[in-house]
Chain A
């Protein structure tokens, strides 16, 4: 199954009630899968909105009344959704947003890229907020993380972004869905429903009192601390004896892993550190790793974005190099392998 359809199927099985989308390559299969399969389900809605702006605001509406709601797009469309994401974050509403990244800036290209890392992990829209960001690297992970995204969104009342890319969306791989779709989609407790048997409720952020807004911000950030503590996830590969560790995520991590296997066969002690949650960024374990490893290579399909998080995490421990290809160019494992082995020799790690 292709990655886009796998996300859609996983979302339906996670109890999705409303999907709102707008066509953009390379994520159209997701929207089309929803059109085919979600719209027909009892009580569920598929709607092609008039724009990404409208779509994210429809998600906001559906989330207000407690439905599991979702939208998906690719880079240019995600820029348009930022307004709505900021409102969702501010009003503490769960939602799942998928970004199958393509090359930018501007209209860019439709080829796979990772150039929206900053936008995704820094909140993206206006105001002081974060969204949880997940970085899958296979079709199976797209499916698993979609289910996890809905659970996290509800648990912490926060928008969750799945940060994929064009290749992940388009490629087909076997996938195993770990849940069955529920007969009745869940409704979140405490949602707006009309004031039956209780006082009326208001969901809003606007206030003319700065200290009230400050308190809202504080409470958001207390929640973010909790998320950092509980939900930070990462993955390592052959780091135990590694002298050079490549830090990379998503499709790039997959490419790097292939290169590492080849270099290991030649006796080079290289390993992989892969953030799975991009926000919260797994900084503790990376710091831990830097007790034994002094050379790090950050590899991204952009001009260097996650490298800033790596440098912050390492806080001067160890040396950080960078290799990146922007604009939708997909590097080969051999290419990345050559970069690694050059670095390995240059830094005298052989001996």
Chain B
């Protein structure tokens, strides 16, 4: 089994840390993992994205030309990546910031008002975690326990933030 996903948004929205959390969680589950951030000129202009590949077997290429999952945190990413996603794939949209019409009918769309929920919780910067929670539930790629565990690791230098991030994650997971 090989699963690839792309997570995209503005720089500062925490898309890279979402990717890292998923990668870390998959590692805890004993999977082979690669994480590849877009770098250099590609990320000028404030957009960022990363690709995570998870597999039971060795991973051939860390690049994804047709990922099974895409998480778009902002409008430009939604426009850009909707055409990359594999037929039958899952497309997660941050509906707080995305109005774009999704023209494809062969993919499933999951709308998560991530910023709205995070704002309500009093942690506007944790919108990425709300989305990550929703992704964890819907995709089933990694287990919630392991994502929570991974969070402790990726935030080990910012311990104060663990609490709010955990809450946001669980909140996202409990959405239906």
Contacts and interface: CB of A to CB of B under 8 A. Distances in A.
Interface of A: 25-26, 110, 166-167, 170-174, 251, 254-259, 261, 330, 332-333
Contacts of B59: 254, 258
B34 A171 contact: yes
B37 A170 contact: yes
Contacts of A257: 58, 60
Given A172-B23, A257-B58, A25 B39 contact: yes
Interface in B8-66: 20, 23, 27, 33-37, 39-41, 57-63, 65
Interface of B: 20, 23, 27, 33-37, 39-41, 57-63, 65
A312 to B, nearest CB: 28
19 contacts: A25-B40, A26-B39, A26-B40, A110-B39, A167-B63, A170-B36, A171-B34, A171-B35, A172-B34, A172-B36, A173-B35, A254-B59, A254-B60, A254-B61, A256-B60, A257-B58, A330-B63, A332-B61, A333-B61
B41 A110 contact: yes
Given A166-B39, A333-B60, A333-B61, 17 more contacts: A25-B39, A25-B40, A110-B39, A167-B36, A167-B63, A170-B39, A171-B36, A172-B20, A173-B33, A173-B35, A174-B27, A254-B60, A255-B61, A256-B60, A258-B59, A259-B60, A332-B63
B85 to A, nearest CB: 15
A332 B67 CA distance: 12
A258 B39 contact: no
A173 B34 contact: yes
Contacts of A26: 39-40
Nearest to A26: B39
Contacts, number: 53
Contacts of A251: 61
Contacts of A166: 39
Contacts of A259: 60
B60 A258 contact: yes
Contacts of A110: 39-41
A215 B58 CA distance: 48
Contacts of A172: 20, 23, 33-36
A173 B60 CA distance: 13
A166 B61 CA distance: 13
Rank and list the top 3 A-B pairs by shortest CB-CB distance, nearest first: A258-B60, A172-B35, A110-B40
A261 B57 contact: yes
A285 to B, nearest CB: 22
Nearest to B37: A170
A26 B60 CA distance: 20
B155 to A, nearest CB: 17
B110 to A, nearest CB: 26
Contact of B60 (A170, A171, A174, A255): A255
Contacts of A258: 58-61
A332 B60 CA distance: 9
B23 to A, nearest CB: 7
Nearest to B65: A332
B94 to A, nearest CB: 24
A330 B60 CA distance: 12
A173 B54 CA distance: 11
Nearest to A253: B60
B69 to A, nearest CB: 17
Given A254-B60, A259-B60, A174 B39 contact: no
A167 B37 CA distance: 9
Contacts of B37: 170
A259 B39 CA distance: 26
Contacts of A261: 57, 60
A273 B31 CA distance: 26
B21 to A, nearest CB: 12
Nearest to A334: B65
Contacts of A254: 58-61
Contacts of A25: 39-40
Contacts of B35: 171-173
A63 B83 CA distance: 52
Nearest to A110: B40
B18 to A, nearest CB: 14
A261 B20 CA distance: 27
A255 B34 CA distance: 13
A171 B62 contact: yes
Nearest to B36: A171
Nearest to B42: A110
